Chains A and B, each alone.
Chain A
């Protein structure tokens, strides 16, 4: 079994934390993993992405081929569309529905949403509002991970929860609980 995931967003939105948690869960579960990250220049408010490959078999390429991604997990709706050529025809987009506008030529929002909705499999949610409701404004990325959890399949929701506990453990029990709550709300949201 394999799962190829593209994580994306805008520099500073916390996609690497999502990658770290999936990485921890995969390592704990004994699943092979390769995760290509973007460091350096593009982190400054530009588009960022990470190719995350999980498999029970040997993984060669650090990069996912076009048409190969099972899931695109995006912190920003336009950014989720940037990787369409990489999404498998049967793949799913899990994205925040709230645009992050830091460029003058951001596309028309209605047209953008219409294009997103025209995709065969899309889950979108205003993750920032959900995180806020959960009392954890910085936990939007955990809400997103929760939304994506049912599509990751190769890892269980429970394995991901455990990884969150491990990764945030050094920041204290309160932070762990807040992030687990945000994650659980994401899981619930994707069931709807």
Chain B
């Protein structure tokens, strides 16, 4: 049966049908819809497949590894930068090995549509020395989940499934297979204790599997070679790049489609010998372009992102690939003259707006103030009309950067962080600040949800005062306000008092996100009918 599915949904359904027992994830564009699909899927609900959101990617990765240890199939999903958060557990899971199949899905965001960098997760696959799958379309995304679980269980390693935004958020018809059984509980009897003596042995085991990983990619049905008569340019097309190549050349080119890694030097060398030059087309960073240079010899001409034949940054398009292939651009209109940028902005009526209005009003009295921001809707406070932020780096960095700046003598040092980001990676930094009695003011702008990614449950809802007190913030310096225009005098007074306090203060402006509030109102109305 064919179903119209987003790339993300194809992966989710592929996982359920492959006998998934648990998905572990923290919301992050463009990966969020995978977990959301599983949360609302009837079969998943009936089977009791775990799908509750995790506090961050590291807790997700570790819980999934635990499920794998117990013998069941687990999926971890995250956006690319989440790989940095779970890297410790991820890299070491290749050393422990797995029991039940374990897939780590990383959704990369070339062009940074909703991200702060363009890192390519295939590097992580190579770093951890594990197989990587990279689907070129929605059908492959569906099919690869079962293949990746099988490979993971047969090789006893986690498998990385790497997608990009354009696949995650593009819909196509997918031929869907039968529902398979879950694994039975069957805990591992191996030693997963990575004491140096054991880890050294296990690392050698992992290295010993590399040949088998390579053979698996040589035999993979997802990798193939297409040959055309009279062509002397070889095109290596990785993952979704295959589509942009085919869009331009059809069947009239020599193409090596790469959708499963590690690369095989044998296959690459043979392809190089059959051609006079190679063009590497890959979405993200020049991972393959760099890797094959060491396989085909220094003099062999390789073209790609490093040589400028393709742009060094940004996602691939059919147009930039056409240019790299030497195809002349077709007729097209120029850019319009009467056009202005329309950046995203905080919703009208959003509580974050009131928080920034209050902050800006109070901080205007302090010439040297800095506000350290964090990741979420409220990062939009950096843009006009508020222009309130000096930094936004990674999840949780608002508190720790404010602390470091305060250590250096900066005053006032203010951190603004959302509720979900605070529990993701802000709590440990707050403990550092408490232990150092740092002179910082932390604003936890609590909208009771993970707003930016579409309103997922937030791990700390109803627990923030308790968390702050538990971490040692003094009770009289944990203040809760309701961010509404009518409360502006109270909010600004409290902000000023806490900025003036020489130590750690936490102010929690709390009002539900207007998007989730509207959704909840609709749900209540529906129930009353």
> In chain B, what residue has the closest Cβ to A27?
B4
Does A39 sit within 8 A of B, measured CB to CB?
yes
| A45 adjacent to B173 (CB under 8 Å) | no
- B282 CB-CB contact with A under 8 Å: no
B residues in contact with A102, CB < 8 Å: 342, 345
Let me know if B409 is at the binding interface, CB within 8 A: no
Give the Cβ gap from A118 to chain B, nearest Cβ, in Å: 10
Is A36 a contact of B332 with CB atoms below 8 Å?
no
Whether the Cβ atoms of A40 and B453 lie closer than 8 Å is yes
Contact status of A65 and B247, CB under 8 A, knowing A27-B173, A87-B333: yes
Residue of A nearest to B385 (CB): A104
Q: How far is the CB of A187 from chain B (nearest CB, A)?
A: 24
Residues of A within 8 A of B30 (CB): 39-40
Given A61-B243, A62-B166, A81-B338, does the pair A46, B344 have CB atoms closer than 8 Å? yes
* A112-B336 Cα distance, complex, nearest whole Å: 9
Determine if B166 and A40 form an interchain contact, defined as CB atoms under 8 angstroms apart: no
Instruction: Say which one of B93-101, B291-299, B314-322, B471-479 lies at the interface with A.
Output: B314-322
Contact for A38 among B169, B319, B384, CB less than 8 A: B169
User: Digit string of B323-357 for contact with A (CB within 8 Å is 1, else 0)?
Assistant: 00000011111111111111111110000000000
Contact of B244 among A32, A61, A84, A105 (CB under 8 A): A61
B427 within 8 Å of A (CB atoms): no
A44 with B380: CB separation less than 8 A? yes
A79: chain B residues at CB < 8 Å are 342
Chain B: minimal CB distance from A59 (Å) = 8
A61 to B318 CA separation, bound complex (whole angstroms): 7
B431 interface residue (CB < 8 Å to A): no
Q: Is the interface of B mostly helix, strand, loop or mixed?
A: loop
Asked whether A103 lies within 8 Å of B340 as measured between CB atoms, the reply is: yes
Best-surrounded residue of B30, B169, B452, B453 (most CB of chain A within 10 A): B169
The distance in angstroms between the C-alpha atoms of A35 and B170, with both chains bound, is 5
- B63 interfacial contact with A, CB 8 Å: no
Does B332 contact A66, Cβ atoms closer than 8 Å?
yes
**B170 near A67 (CB under 8 angstroms)?**
no
Q: Write the chain A residue with the least CB distance to B346.
A: A44
User: In whole angstroms, how far apart are the Cα atoms of A10 and B246 in the complex?
Assistant: 32
Among B167, B333, B342, B454, point to the contact of A89 (Cβ < 8 A).
B333
Q: Is A162 an interface residue (CB 8 A)?
A: no
Interface band, chain A: 35 or more
* Those of A1-37 within 8 Å (CB) of chain B: 10-11, 23-24, 27, 32-37
Chain A contacts for B218, CB-based, 8 A: none
A106 nearest in chain B by CB position: B340
Which residues on the B side are within 8 Å of A115 (C-beta)?
Answer: 336-338
The answer, yes or no, to whether A108 is at the interface (CB within 8 Å) is yes
Q: Given A41-B452, A61-B318, A65-B319, does the pair A11, B344 have CB atoms closer than 8 Å?
A: yes
Contacts of B2 in A (CB 8 A): 27
Residues from chain B with Cβ under 8 Å of A64 in the complex: 318
**A78 in the interface, Cβ–Cβ < 8 Å?**
yes
Alpha-carbon distance between A39 and B455 when the two chains are bound, in angstroms: 13
User: What's the Cα separation between A120 and B103 when bound, in Å?
Assistant: 51
A85 close to B (CB within 8 Å)? yes
Tell me, in angstroms, the Cα distance from A27 to B333 when the chains sit together: 31
Pair B171/A44 contact, Cβ less than 8 Å: no
The reply to whether A41 and B113 contact each other, CB–CB distance below 8 Å, is: yes
Residues of A contacting B332 with CB < 8 Å?
A: 66-67, 85-87, 89
Cβ contact within 8 Å between A62 and B170: yes
Chain A positions within 8 Å of B347 at CB level: 44-45
Question: A55-92: contact bitstring with B at CB < 8 Å (1 yes, 0 no)?
Answer: 00001111111111000000000110110111101000
Asked whether, in the complex, the Cβ of B166 is within 8 Å of the Cβ of A36, the reply is: yes
Residues of A within 8 A of B32 (CB): 39
- Which residues, 376 to 404 on B, are CB-close (under 8 Å) to A? 377, 380, 384
Question: In this complex, what residue of B is CB-closest to A111?
Answer: B338
**Known A37-B171, A44-B380, A65-B318; further 4 A-B contacts with Cβ < 8 A:** A59-B172, A62-B167, A78-B340, A103-B340
Task: Give B contacts to A, CB under 8 Å.
Answer: 2, 4, 6, 29-30, 32-33, 113-114, 166-167, 169-173, 240, 242-244, 246-247, 317-319, 322, 329-347, 377, 380, 384, 452-454
